[in-house]
Structure 1
Amino acid sequence: MPLSTNEKQARPASPGLFLVKKKDRVTRLKEAVQAATPGICTERALLWTEYFKDKANQSKHVYVQMAEALAHSQKNRSIAVHPGELIVGNYTSRRVGGLLFPELHGLVVMQDLFKFPNRETNPLEVSRLDQARLLSIAPFWATRMLAVKTCDSWLDTFSLVLNQLMGNYYIINEAAGISHIAPDYETLCRLGTDGIAAKAAKLQKQSLMDADKWYFYESVRIAAEGLAAFGERYAQLAGEMAERELDEDLAAELKGIAEVCSRVPRKGAKTFREALQSCFFAQIAINNESLDNSVCPGRMDHYLYPYYEKDLKAGLLTREEAKELAGAFSVKMSEIVPVFSKYITRTHGGFFNGQIVNVGGTHKNGKDSTNELTMIFLEVMDELRMRQPNYTARVHKNSPKEYLDKVYGILSKGANSPSIYNDEVIVPVLKQNGVKIGDARNYTPVGCVEPVAQGVSFSSTDAALFNTAIILELALNQGRRLGRVAQIGAKTKPVSQMTCIEDVQEAFEIQMFHGINRLLKDLQAIEIANAEYHPTPLSSMLLDGCLENGACSTRGGARYNFSGIQCVGLVDAGDSLAAIKQAVFEDKKLSMEELVEHLKNNLSDDRWRHYLLNMPKFGNDDPFADVWTAYALDVFKAALDGKTSTRGGKYTVGVYSVTLHEYWGTVVSALPNGRRNGESLSNGMSPSNGQDRKGPTAVLNSMNRIDYSKTDNGINFNIKFDANTVGSPAGCTAMKSIFSTYFKRGGMQAQINVLDPKVLIEARDNPEAYPHLLVRVSGYSAYFNDLTPAMKEEMIRRTSMGL
């Protein structure tokens, strides 16, 4: 049954529970979170159902429905203040838990309902009672979930769902709701929800009654009030706990929590602690509003610094106390995990969430913005090394030496965070897409690697991922998979008639355009469904432009609107084209027909396989190979150029794969680069595993041959170093030197794993010995133990570089 609004809140009540030594507070909070067993929280799904089952709500405007449903959930869900906390708030009813969204992709996820507790990868606790409760709401949502509303018939719905489950050609993440945003938390801290609601009310008075604009403003007012009331619930709870607490010091701490939560997020934040708390309440609520994926606080060292500086000068805060608060905030962000089915885990493995906190960079005027809070966050990420937040760092030509030394020092010690982003490339890329220079300089990565102007962009940066490697397979078999008869792609020339590399290129280009058009047709139907049936008023009120335009972000209300399409298997396609060019048309060692026959046999002849593996490969400073990867990127971009989303923004090109490169490796047939079916594709922009044979400088030289003005949605470039070679001061200096050169020569991004190869093997074989070994996967961090067995092997197979 749905939860009653009168059900009791979960709240620790024993006096003395808050006995925490101050110097150990963050460590103890970390240990408590890491010791908690992840599970499924049913409350959001049940409360959402309770609201929509009420007939009084069913005739309301969809904007009002969404705002009221969220407010209803925030008002009636369980809350708790855990021992030792300074920043409070719970994503779910569990200490570490995940949410279900029955109106979006929840019913698809529920196919694993009875498997979650015992599955090998990412098990999640869920009680028999909760399983029964979730089953009871399934019939209600079966005819109301987003996929049903997207399609005209049950046959189309079945086709869409099946395509998403199989996901052989592309995955549309917007089918599960739109996320991947960096909200305007700076304005929330400055104005508070009352200030934002007042602005909405003023604009509402200028709108026609019962017009969409009027209802949008009404929904913003409801969402703002719901968020404010959510914070006040914690104020009441902490106050009640303080009254029961016998220890005076701990009672004072609880009273401090109550005081902070009584003011924020309703009123503008006055202190550093209030600003952090306000951000975290909003972070929880936005993750509950739509898909709980990659809601990013972004540039916290930048917009929170005035609060830190003011408190420091007033004697209200010390540096160590600020670090403790930042640490407590960071730990809280690890309390959410995604609820993914077996199929979705293939795409987003390792409890992916992608809540990015970014440090460094510049002010809007172009001057360096690093400050003491930047250094504090760097220390926190080094000392905590948790799966969340996804920490990133910006660098530019005027980044201070102290800052760069700290970033590379942390990485050389094996923190594997932060990933690094080059302002000298990214700011011009954003500007070329129409982003004003001040907004471009205020960018933050979102999700995995995607740069957006913070607080002003609704970029849906992970709208879809596209299997580029399979496009080459279709090009070599007239639009069919090798060994199959179904016509999936366009009808192109048979290989028997391909007499030059240009014939292969022509087929590749035709298949690419056909595949992209097919993807966009499905994606745009989902975009429309999200706008009509699942608007997001809370997110919209924290994205500049939506209030001014009187339009939800799902309808293009934000100042900037883009949608990111990810190119997966790019390097495999480029290396394969290079192999065809050399092996068939230059060396003439075999014909196109003979090559395709070997591919159909999965390169079972080792002699020919090794011959193809030894063809030139991207990542070895070989211009012949590198130009073909650049060409494959050009074709992908050309297929998207000129296409716009239903929100009016362009489709942008990303080159990252999350964990799809491993799954799609089991889908794509053998390729001319020597890769067999079943072997992983390349991860993001990185060279294929084991094919970068000439060391890190050669890899970086190849990377510098790519024109990153064409990857406006970002890249992930993974590179792994042997901890035995870079862990020393000399190794750190060498690493800093080669990456400084890489960025000066136009590199866009890098994420550096520093690992002992033996440790990865030991962690695979004895997982209990390394429960929280943090690794960079593909734009995000995860505990090695949380990866699928296949992804663990893929991490091990990545080339381990020395310096």
Structure 2
Amino acid sequence: MGKIQFINEFPATEEFTLDKRIKLLRQRKLEQTEEKIEMEGGLDEDDYGRVVCPDDFYFEPDSNHPDGSYYGYEGWSHNYCKLLREHPLYCDPLDAFVGRGFFFMTRQKGSLWNPDHPYTELKSAFDEYNIVCGIGSDGHFTPDLNMGFDMGWIGILKKLEKFEQINTAPENEIFYTTEKKMVNAIMTFLNRVADELMALSEEENNPYLKQNLVEMSQTNRKIANDKPETLRECIQWMCWFSFFSRLYNRGPSGGQLDELLRPFYERDIAAGIIDDETAKFYIACLYLNDTRYYQLAGPDDNGDDMASKISYLILEAADWINIACNLTVRVHDNMNEDFFTKAVGYLFKNKNGWPRFSGDNSLVDGFMRCGYEKNLARKRLAAGCSWMSIPGMEYTLNDLVKINAAKVFEVAYYEMVKSGEYGTDKLWEIFSKHLERAVNTTAKGIKFHLTWQDQNEPELICNLLSQGPVEKGLDVTKSAMYFNMCIDGSGIATVADSFAACEQRVEKEGKITWEALTKQLELNYNDIDGEYIRQMMLHSERFGGGDSLADRWASRINELFTNLVRKECDNYEGINFIPGWFSWSNTLEFGSRVRATPNGRRNGEAINHGANPTSGFRKDGAVTAMANSIANVQPFFGNCAPVQLEIDPGIADTEEGVGKMVSMIRTILETGNTLLNINIINKEQILEAHKDPSKYPDLVVRVTGFTSYFAMLSPEFRQLVVDRVLAVNGEC
């Protein structure tokens, strides 16, 4: 193992309370965030709990391909085991756990796709429509951590050995050989961690910190060789699984956190091992370790709410540590109202974008339309920026496959111009044809990925906590119980607004001809009267206006897109294609690839965010009208088209205000919406932070599905968040 990165700065006489440790750990987190900003620049993604890699550590992977990169079972397992042998231990004696990482292997290797399996015949359509195809993508599904708790690493190894004797085909041999190699490397690593922690305890002069290091060592020794039994061992197991999976390929989501922890918490409380303050401290340290997506509450198999004492402690721990985190509260008919109110209260207290709220009825009913039973649909948890997943049971590429509908519109528009036959009917006919080709090609890309991904990047960590891979001796891309593959569309408001602007200004009002409009688009509205015309198009009826012309176009676009995606299920046995509307951080990149559009958007400007209306057209803050518009474009097959709200912090300063917000959230979700992301942002503060992010190092915002330190975002993405806030205040 590489050199330890160990923080030791306290004298032997220093005394500590849990609260003091939390405050010191939080301050250290902010300092480490500033260090990442200084070393790495803007990052438009989750925080991940990483720390900056030590200056004296550099990992050099070994290639198993002429192109200089590595692929397949042998390439990945060899380099992963090599990295575990060399990876330093990061240890903070104030923390309850170890397991902080420095990087992901996927960002340390060369080419990300095995060139032995080219997809040249698909690439032309991917490029034409600016499709994020998902080929070679990883990690966007949810393993079942309970499998790890029940077996421990030694049990996982025994399970591999058992099924190795059953599945003896040549294709299974490499699976079991490499998976056993991985588990043995993990167990060796954990034992080395335990040794090094004990050695650190012997050097520590502060008796409080010395005892903590001894307990750390004992905890890690236990989980290296046995299954976890206490809450501390359970969370340390989770921290290490986060580390192992993130180190491999950025890793998956977390699961139903309260139910994962509850049995360990209740046993420890009954045995007198811990009290609630200690449990909260452990959970707060879990947030420091990683910002995985976790769900709270929601219905059990019988429809009863799962909120329990530890659900409250999870919220309290997040409030205590007060950093970026990703908690989702599942809202349903039998919701624990007190817990719901507490969750909303924390949203306004800390103004850090957590928790967000998912709509159980829409999600469950939608997934049942795919042919699944209700009890299984209820197991499908909020798992990532916009997506759902059944822990351990399904493989998805959720949030990794996106069709830039605005680009499809651009292609269709200029084909119409070339034909010389103008009209929204003609434009719709051509748009429909190109969207069908885009969806069809995207589905082919997903099938291609499933066929070849195990020879590119097998899921060697998440395979171990999934039902199917170990039992069948095949990668999860070949052996999952269910394949629910999401195809997201992006830019629905941009396209709907453009159709509506053409119909209103050209066809209904006759204020501009198709030829004149096309000229302005080609010149990016820079011709004579260009800005006047742009403003005219910009102020046509918009999506989000409430039964507007553009709302009707959006519903038509959504119906077309949904039907096209679902139609692909008939072409691929065993694959369930699920439509959604989401853009994630592709909002900027997608916009950069699209020329000026008829809705007044200039060349290269961002498309709309997710399923939200284009920023800035509503000056009245009409949340309900916007939410109703988004509800009307929910594809309604079990995945999300999220609602993003920017709320003034003064709206819920009182108990009455929180109650009104609870009612508003419930109303938004009961109208058919699936996921609600909320930012509580002070306009003056975020404008100051945008000018000089260093003045507000602890400002956390919900960027999209994830929360992030505002200072960590690129200037372009900070501007997107600022524009959304200004739009609420009628200034954008």
TM-score relative to the length of structure 1:
0.81
Give the 5 Å matches for 1:627-638. Answer: 627-638=552-563
For residue 560 of structure 1, the aligned residue among 479, 482, 494 is 482
8 Å Cα contact 2:634-2:640 kept in structure 1? no
What does residue 297 of structure 2 align with? 360
- Paired AA for residue 355 in structure 2: P
What does residue 312 of structure 1 align with? 269
8 Å Cα contact 2:634-2:673 kept in structure 1? no
Give the 5 Å matches for 1:547-696. Answer: 547-555=470-478, 557-604=479-526, 605-643=530-568, 648-694=574-620, 695-696=622-623
Task: Describe the superposition over 1:40-71 as per-residue Cα deviations: whole angstroms up to 9, x where unpaired.
Answer: 649999657248599xxx9xx95355344323
Change (3 A) 1:429 1:46: farther
Q: 2 CA distance for matches of 1:704 and 1:12?
A: 50
- Paired AA for residue 221 in structure 1: K
More deviation, 211-220/192-201: 211-220
8 Å Cα contact 2:8-2:93 kept in structure 1? no
SS of the residue 2:414 aligns to: coil
Change (3 A) 1:381 1:434: farther
Q: 1 CA distance for matches of 2:26 and 2:210?
A: 22
- Paired AA for residue 422 in structure 2: M
8 Å Cα contact 1:626-1:702 kept in structure 2? yes
- Paired AA for residue 511 in structure 1: H
Does 2:302 align with 1:292? no
Does 2:329 align with 1:406? no
For residue 433 of structure 2, the aligned residue among 474, 491, 510 is 510
Q: Tell me how far 1:775 sits from its aligned partner.
A: 0.8
Give the 5 Å matches for 1:263-412. Answer: 263-289=222-248, 291-292=249-250, 295-333=252-290, 355-387=292-324, 389-412=325-348
Does 2:393 align with 1:456? yes
What does residue 184 of structure 2 align with? 225
Q: Tell me how far 1:754 sits from its aligned partner.
A: 0.9
SS of the residue 1:476 aligns to: helix
SS of the residue 1:772 aligns to: coil
Task: Describe the superposition over 1:392-433 as per-residue Cα deviations: whole angstroms up to 9, x where unpaired.
Answer: 221111111111101211222323111110111112222333
- Paired AA for residue 530 in structure 1: Q
Change (3 A) 1:382 1:593: farther
- Paired AA for residue 384 in structure 2: G
SS of the residue 1:650 aligns to: strand
Q: 1 CA distance for matches of 2:573 and 2:216?
A: 41
Does 2:695 align with 1:769? yes
Q: 2 CA distance for matches of 1:53 and 1:461?
A: 29
Q: Tell me how far 1:493 sits from its aligned partner.
A: 7.2
Q: 2 CA distance for matches of 1:25 and 1:14?
A: 13
8 Å Cα contact 1:570-1:632 kept in structure 2? yes
Q: 1 CA distance for matches of 2:207 and 2:348?
A: 44
Q: Tell me how far 1:675 sits from its aligned partner.
A: 1.8
Q: Tell me how far 1:437 sits from its aligned partner.
A: 3.2
Q: 2 CA distance for matches of 1:558 and 1:718?
A: 32
What does residue 78 of structure 1 align with? 88
Q: Tell me how far 1:670 sits from its aligned partner.
A: 1.8
- Paired AA for residue 366 in structure 2: V
Give the 5 Å matches for 1:105-120. Answer: 106-107=109-110
- Paired AA for residue 25 in structure 2: L
More deviation, 239-248/646-655: 646-655
8 Å Cα contact 1:473-1:671 kept in structure 2? yes
For residue 496 of structure 1, the aligned residue among 407, 416, 420 is 420
What does residue 703 of structure 1 align with? 630
SS of the residue 2:330 aligns to: strand
What does residue 249 of structure 1 align with? 208
Q: 1 CA distance for matches of 2:584 and 2:181?
A: 36
Task: Describe the superposition over 1:302-330 as per-residue Cα deviations: whole angstroms up to 9, x where unpaired.
Answer: 12111111111111111111000000110
8 Å Cα contact 2:125-2:441 kept in structure 1? no
Q: Tell me how far 1:15 sits from its aligned partner.
A: 8.1
- Paired AA for residue 184 in structure 1: D
For residue 179 of structure 1, the aligned residue among 133, 139, 143 is 139
Change (3 A) 1:400 1:744: same
Q: 2 CA distance for matches of 1:101 and 1:738?
A: 41
8 Å Cα contact 2:492-2:581 kept in structure 1? yes
For residue 18 of structure 2, the aligned residue among 11, 22, 46 is 22
Task: Describe the superposition over 1:342-387 as per-residue Cα deviations: whole angstroms up to 9, x where unpaired.
Answer: xxxxxxxxxxxxx212211122332210111111222233343423
Q: Tell me how far 1:90 sits from its aligned partner.
A: 2.7
- Paired AA for residue 180 in structure 1: H
8 Å Cα contact 1:385-1:774 kept in structure 2? no
What does residue 409 of structure 2 align with? 472
Structure 2 stretches of 5 or more lacking a match?
A: 40-51
Q: 2 CA distance for matches of 1:279 and 1:28?
A: 23
- Paired AA for residue 559 in structure 1: M
Q: Tell me how far 1:526 sits from its aligned partner.
A: 4.5
SS of the residue 2:599 aligns to: coil
8 Å Cα contact 1:234-1:261 kept in structure 2? yes
More deviation, 601-610/458-467: 601-610
Q: 1 CA distance for matches of 2:374 and 2:79?
A: 38
Q: 2 CA distance for matches of 1:377 and 1:571?
A: 37
SS of the residue 2:116 aligns to: helix
Change (3 A) 1:375 1:167: farther
Q: Tell me how far 1:667 sits from its aligned partner.
A: 2.6
Q: Tell me how far 1:267 sits from its aligned partner.
A: 1.7
What does residue 43 of structure 2 align with? none
SS of the residue 1:149 aligns to: coil
SS of the residue 1:643 aligns to: helix
- Paired AA for residue 663 in structure 1: E
TM-score relative to the length of structure 2:
0.89
Change (3 A) 1:730 1:420: same
Q: 1 CA distance for matches of 2:20 and 2:581?
A: 41
Does 2:166 align with 1:206? yes
Change (3 A) 1:44 1:473: farther
What is the aligned length? 703
- Paired AA for residue 181 in structure 1: F
Change (3 A) 1:679 1:64: closer
Change (3 A) 1:703 1:50: closer
Task: Describe the superposition over 1:719-759 as per-residue Cα deviations: whole angstroms up to 9, x where unpaired.
Answer: 10111333333332222222211222222111011111111
8 Å Cα contact 1:554-1:647 kept in structure 2? no
SS of the residue 2:504 aligns to: helix
- Flag the structure with more relative contact order, 1 or 2, with Cα contacts below 8 A and sequence separation at least 6: 2
Change (3 A) 1:78 1:444: same
Task: Describe the superposition over 1:511-565 as per-residue Cα deviations: whole angstroms up to 9, x where unpaired.
Answer: 112233444455554444422232122211111122233321122x111223323
Q: 2 CA distance for matches of 1:529 and 1:466?
A: 22
RMSD: 3.1
Q: 1 CA distance for matches of 2:322 and 2:192?
A: 31
8 Å Cα contact 1:654-1:713 kept in structure 2? yes
SS of the residue 2:575 aligns to: coil
Change (3 A) 1:496 1:525: same
More deviation, 259-268/502-511: 259-268
- Paired AA for residue 86 in structure 1: A
Change (3 A) 1:16 1:236: farther
Task: Describe the superposition over 1:583-624 as per-residue Cα deviations: whole angstroms up to 9, x where unpaired.
Answer: 233333333333222222323423322222222112122253
Q: 1 CA distance for matches of 2:116 and 2:27?
A: 44
Q: Tell me how far 1:458 sits from its aligned partner.
A: 1.5
Q: 2 CA distance for matches of 1:320 and 1:190?
A: 26
Tell me the percent identity. 21
